[in-house]
Amino acid sequence: MQTNNVRMSLAVVGALALAGCAGMAPGPQNMTFFVTSVGPGKGGDLGGLEGADRHCQSLAQAVGAGNRTWHAYLSTQAPKLADPNFVNARDRIGAGPWHNVKGVRIACSVEDLHSASSKLNKETALNEKGQLVNGRTEKPNMHDILTGSRADGTAFPGAPFPDMTCSNWTNGTEGGSAMTGHHDRVGPTAASWATSWNAAHPTLGCSPDKIRPTGGEGLFYCFAVK
């Protein structure tokens, strides 16, 4: 009897997990993922992680989704190798699942988000208003999304490794750089890096004018932590 109860409990848990990972009713009240419709306007200077999170929260609030806690999908680098003071983007976004404003599932979990089964692409990576974000073949091209992350969602090493986070999202000058991903999963080749949503290539610099040439407007991903 006890074994049957355990099996029944596991079945219920599994059913609930599958239900939570299915599509949701559309609307901002169920939205748990979006691409920012605009950046703060200072290139890679987002005001640090805190400023980026506030930007996510503000945009969500404006469309009626401010009841959730929102975090930007961004990593930070430690000052130097072997220094533990870094942040992995994958560790700041909660456990999932995540759905866009139209109720379409992006991923069931952190592992799913960073796997080949992730549903993040141009059709699903909508902004908080439910609008498509321009891809590589459109003008202006806006498919470079700031992440500062490696493909698995972890941070790059610190110095002497190059800057991949615009000085941890505080630099808006021509110097430095930040890793970006392609939300439309399109690049100049079919290589995995070129079609990565979070680790395609770095920017030419950290100012708006240095982010635009490769196809970016300083946008980033926002996820509801809870």
What is the structure's pLDDT at 22?
76
Q: With contact defined as beta carbons under 8 Å apart, do 94 and 225 qualify? A: yes
Query: What are the residue boundaries of the structural domains of the chain, listed by start?
Result: 24-224
CATH classification (class only), 24-224: alpha beta
What is the structure's pLDDT at 16?
37
| Two structure tokens written together for 214 | 């490769």
Residue pLDDT, tens place only, 24-38: 899 999 999 999 999
Partners of 159 in beta bridges: 80
What's the mean pLDDT when you consider all of the chain?
92
3-state secondary structure at position 166? helix
What is the structure's pLDDT at 20?
54
Distance CA(24)–CA(1), nearest Å, equals 36
Residue pLDDT, tens place only, 166-190: 999 999 999 999 999 999 999 999 9
- Phi, psi values for residue 121, rounded to 5°: -155, -175
Which residue stretches of the chain have pLDDT < 70?
A: 1-20
Which among 138, 132, 73, 75 has a CA at the least distance from the CA of 107? 73
Distance CA(72)–CA(130), nearest Å, equals 18
What is the structure's pLDDT at 82?
87
